[in-house]
Amino acid sequence: MVVGATPGLLADTRGRHLHDLRISVTDRCNFRCTYCMPKSLFDKDYKYLAHDELLSFEEITRTARLFALHGVEKIRLTGGEPLLRKNVEALIEMLAALKTTDGRSMDLTLTTNGSLLPKKARTLRAAGLQRITVSLDSLDDNVFRAMNDVDFPVTDVLRGIDAASDAGFFPVKINMVVKKGVNDRDIVAMARHFKGSGHIVRFIEFMDVGSSNGWRMDDVVPSAEVVRAISAVMPLVEAEANYSGEVAERWAYRDGSGEIGVISSVTQAFCASCTRARLSTEGNLYTCLFAQSGHDLRALIRSGRTDAEIAAAIGLIWEQRGDRYSEIRSDATAQDPKIEMSYIGG
């Protein structure tokens, strides 16, 4: 018998409620971004998970439904590259049928590198996906090709963003991970390109996720510098958060032509308001993006445990959560072994 919390709204040891569930649906990606899946580790000999090790769509949906009992209202599908998971639209249909504790539809979104959106955007929308975030680290084709390290062109990602918009995903959020000396000179160009489009660019501080991206504090461009650089040519004013615990800090253009966001996990830690849990491709639950270990839910699911038992185990894990990595980050902790971003999603 699994002993743990009963279904209902949860709070961890710091009073943080469970609100968001990020689900990695594949450990594979067709990019080799240097800050996520560098070729030095993820080469042609890298051993990916076997199909029977992955959670099935039915197992993912069952688990998500149990998380909903504990207050989850938002589900984000990630990877790897989630659109590489065969028939992912079927999973989206299943998740779109889930309800929150007060009977509302789940906020269902997905993060992608955009490469497959020209082919998939309309079927994703028809399946019930509500929102899309696209990763795009530079508009300079040479810089972008170097960062994705598979020679994929910027124009094809921009086609994917247009396809998503045409399919009814609006606004599209565009995530740019900023690394000093690599793509920081492209910050203003990125903001200018999407200004007035209705889409929202979010500039993300380079983080020490995992153990393979060679993170150093010297490579971080503080979000405050990003805001200053953009505001110097396109004036910005601070905007209110959309909801409590929102990751991105919002800044609106003074002329009313849209907004940007900055995500400052390094220089302005938001651990105190973090409401996110992460489920890996094969069913390990992680309560922090920078975790060193997780909790095996797949074993519970495949052992014949009841919904009540699994829900209780999830509740107990969250109630014991005390993560605050970004508040204690240092050059020393950056060297600690951590779960790779490609394994649990960003």
pLDDT in tens, 234-260: 999 999 988 776 788 999 999 999 999
pTM: 0.92
* Length of the chain as a residue count: 346
Distance CA 122, CA 166 (A): 8
What domains appear along the chain, each with residue ranges and CATH number? 20-344 (3.20.20.70)
CA atoms within 13 A on the CB side of 133: 21
Q: What is the DSSP letter of 217?
A: G
Q: Which pLDDT does position 329 carry in this prediction?
A: 77
Q: What is the DSSP letter of 103?
A: S
Task: Choose from 152-156, 263-267, 271-275 the range with maximum mean pLDDT.
Answer: 152-156
pLDDT band at 1; cut points 50, 70, 90: very low
Residue 46, pLDDT above cutoff 80: yes
Do 212 and 340 meet the contact criterion of CB atoms below 8 Å apart?
yes
pLDDT band at 326; cut points 50, 70, 90: confident
User: What's the rounded mean pLDDT across residues 128-136?
Assistant: 98
Dump pLDDT digits (tens) for 193-226: 999 999 999 999 987 676 666 668 889 999 999 9
pLDDT band at 32; cut points 50, 70, 90: very high
pLDDT band at 99; cut points 50, 70, 90: very high
Q: Which pLDDT does position 335 carry in this prediction?
A: 73
Render 165-195 in DSSP notation, one character per residue. Answer: HHTT--SPEEEEEEBTTTTGGGHHHHHHHHT
| Distance of alpha carbon 56 from the chain centroid | 20
How many angstroms separate the Cα of 163 from the Cα of each of 114, 134, 149, 160, 285?
9, 12, 24, 5, 33
User: What's the rounded mean pLDDT across residues 116-122?
Assistant: 98
| Average of per-residue pLDDT values in the chain | 92
Dump pLDDT digits (tens) for 6-28: 566 889 999 999 999 999 999 99
Q: What is the DSSP letter of 6?
A: P
Q: Which pLDDT does position 5 carry in this prediction?
A: 54
Residue 3, pLDDT above cutoff 50: no
pLDDT band at 298; cut points 50, 70, 90: very high
Q: Which two tokens stand for residue 277?
A: 């849990």
Do 259 and 300 meet the contact criterion of CB atoms below 8 Å apart?
no
